[in-house]
A and B are shown apart, each in its own frame.
Chain A
Amino acid sequence: MELLQQVVQQLINGISLGSIYALIALGYTMIYGIIKLINFAHGDIYMVGAYIGFFAITQGGFSVVPALLISLVTTGLLGMLVERIAYRPLRKAPRISVLITAIGVSFFIEYTSMYFVSPTPRTFPQMFGDVAVSIGGIVINGQQMLILGITAVLMVLLTYIVQKTKTGKAMRAASFDTETAELMGINSDRIISITFGIGSALAAVAGVLVGIYYNSIDPLMGIMPGLKAFVAAVLGGIGILPGAVVGGLILGVVEALVSGFVSSTFRDAAAFAILILVLLVRPAGLFGKNTKEKV
């Protein structure tokens, strides 16, 4: 029974972590779906979101929900700005050029942030630490409940936007075939910009939640989760929103199990091993369709 209890506990930890990955992965997958770019800077956007939330709480004295909203809006705008300045001029450039630019943008955000907020990690104020539910020895703490609750709300909201609104329909059309979408009168620049905005906003929320969960943030905190969220997106099938969520959750659970039962040092290796396995065995991901290159 002891073992089963441990497994369930790790599952809960994994789903909490996985929700964070899912939130970041959604942005990755939306952006990749529409402009076929691995936005290396996406993890850094998440870091900026965490810092904005941190300052809103500690300096601005806001409580969690307003802080989340402030971070969500500001970071969303930052994402749109990044797209406007760095990626839009390269719309017709080879994909590798854009990828290299994204690496440059990533460095830029990391190290300008480091300059302004110093490289030392900041301690997030303790929140919801004393709230916890215990069922048969399995503990779900307040932070985990917060993560799961907010993630669920955002998923519902995103589904509504993408499925029901005009903008959402345009986004889906553009990610299916940008050129045809343009012929149909969709302003693809605007849609891409909105996609970056929404993706970045989701990442910002993930950043603040991670700050609350782990209590510590630093300017390079986005690198690994960024890469892992990409793994999650690929695992679920890149460009597919439910895929990103499922991919994120699977990844979180696998990582929690690996750190709980093998060794925490292999946690990162597990994520990359999954990536390579998926790319080799089923490159289209769990939910994707295989396509052939046209000759």
Chain B
Amino acid sequence: MRELLKTENVSMVFGGLKAVSDFNIKLGAGELVGLIGPNGAGKTTAFNMLTGVYQPTTGAITFDGENIVGKKPYQVTKAGIARTFQNIRLFSELTVLENVKIAFQSRVKYGLLEAVFRVGRYFKEENAIEAEARRLLSIFHLEGLADETAKNLPYGAQRRLEIARALATKPKLLLLDEPAAGMNPQETQELMEMIRWIRKEFGLTILLIEHDMALVMGICERIYVLEYGEIIAEGTPKEIRENPEVIRAYLGGEG
């Protein structure tokens, strides 16, 4: 398996407080991996470092053979990492279609003057973006809502839109931050199937943060467990379930 992402001794310190330390993970191309841990363990901080929102205090992050430490979030996106957010961050006053169209940003080639005077590549590219965006919407059963304002969407549809939007950036690696948060068991079940399906369909590698154990154990091939900013265990769902360290830190706590 080709290695897609590797982090080496990545740490993040906020004003003397170590949020994440010695964060070492490896993702092979095509893997579906979970990142779990109690609240405040540093999972989202890890995502923020992987996507350039935070610059790690120390350590190296190699993505697809390239060091991405120091890159800005939009450059990381261009390099091929897309994400969703724990607290959904849609462009809420814009339409569903516009939300997806924005994700094509790094591939737009026409310039300012071409846009203003509607010449050159403008129409060709805009039509392509429109078609591709609508295709993505239909995959996520959002085509009927294309002209709806994003904030008016029901919760589940907002989560799907966030994933659709992330996929529109054409990522190699997709980071999902608690995709099942706030979903009922039925919706979670559908989400699991969808995650499996998009991995196959888009040839993705997926790393997901999740609290819903059924979901994580159900679809992840490998799991990292984070506690107090440090990885305390790594393994298959079965190994993790039986790891005494994990049971003490995490599963035990939740019963």
Contact = CB atoms under 8 A, between A and B. Distances in A.
A214 B15 CA distance: 46
Interface string A257-295: 000000000000000000000000000000001001001
A32 B14 CA distance: 25
A295 B14 contact: no
A125 B48 CA distance: 63
B81 to A, nearest CB: 15
B145 interface: no
A289 B16 CA distance: 13
A292 B14 CA distance: 9
B44 interface: yes
B53 interface: yes
Interface in B24-78: 44, 48, 53-54
If over half of B's interface residues share one DSSP class (helix, strand or loop), that class is named, otherwise mixed; here it is: loop
Given A289-B15, A295-B85, 6 more contacts: A292-B14, A292-B54, A295-B44, A295-B48, A295-B53, A295-B54
Contacts of B14: 292
Nearest to A289: B15
Contacts of A289: 15
Interface of B: 14-15, 44, 48, 53-54, 85
A289 B14 CA distance: 12
B162 to A, nearest CB: 14
7 contacts: A289-B15, A292-B14, A292-B54, A295-B44, A295-B48, A295-B53, A295-B85
A23 to B, nearest CB: 32
A295 B55 CA distance: 13
Contacts of B85: 295
Nearest to B89: A295
A106 B217 CA distance: 59
A295 B73 CA distance: 13
Nearest to B87: A295
If over half of A's interface residues share one DSSP class (helix, strand or loop), that class is named, otherwise mixed; here it is: loop
Interface in A82-129: none
A264 to B, nearest CB: 43
A295 B15 CA distance: 17
A292 B54 CA distance: 9
A295 B14 CA distance: 14
Q: Which 8 A-B pairs have the closest CB atoms?
A: A295-B53, A295-B48, A292-B14, A295-B44, A289-B15, A295-B85, A292-B54, A295-B54
Contacts of A295: 44, 48, 53-54, 85
A289 B48 CA distance: 22
Nearest to A294: B44
Nearest to B15: A289
A295 B51 CA distance: 12
Nearest to A292: B14
A292 B19 CA distance: 13
Nearest to A290: B15
A122 to B, nearest CB: 48
A95 B15 CA distance: 27
A89 B99 CA distance: 32
Contacts of A292: 14, 54
Nearest to B86: A295
A292 B57 CA distance: 14
Contacts of B48: 295
A292 B15 CA distance: 10
Contacts of B44: 295
Nearest to B14: A292
B150 to A, nearest CB: 17
A295 B46 CA distance: 11
A104 B15 CA distance: 39
Nearest to B53: A295
B31 to A, nearest CB: 25
Interface string A151-187: 0000000000000000000000000000000000000
Contacts of B15: 289
A141 B48 CA distance: 59
A295 B45 CA distance: 8
Nearest to A293: B53
B84 to A, nearest CB: 12
A291 to B, nearest CB: 9
A295 B47 CA distance: 10
A295 B49 CA distance: 11
Contacts of B54: 292, 295
B168 to A, nearest CB: 21
A61 B85 CA distance: 65
A183 B203 CA distance: 48
B91 to A, nearest CB: 15
A264 B85 CA distance: 52
A102 B54 CA distance: 34
A289 B15 CA distance: 10
Contacts of B53: 295
B40 to A, nearest CB: 12
A295 B43 CA distance: 12
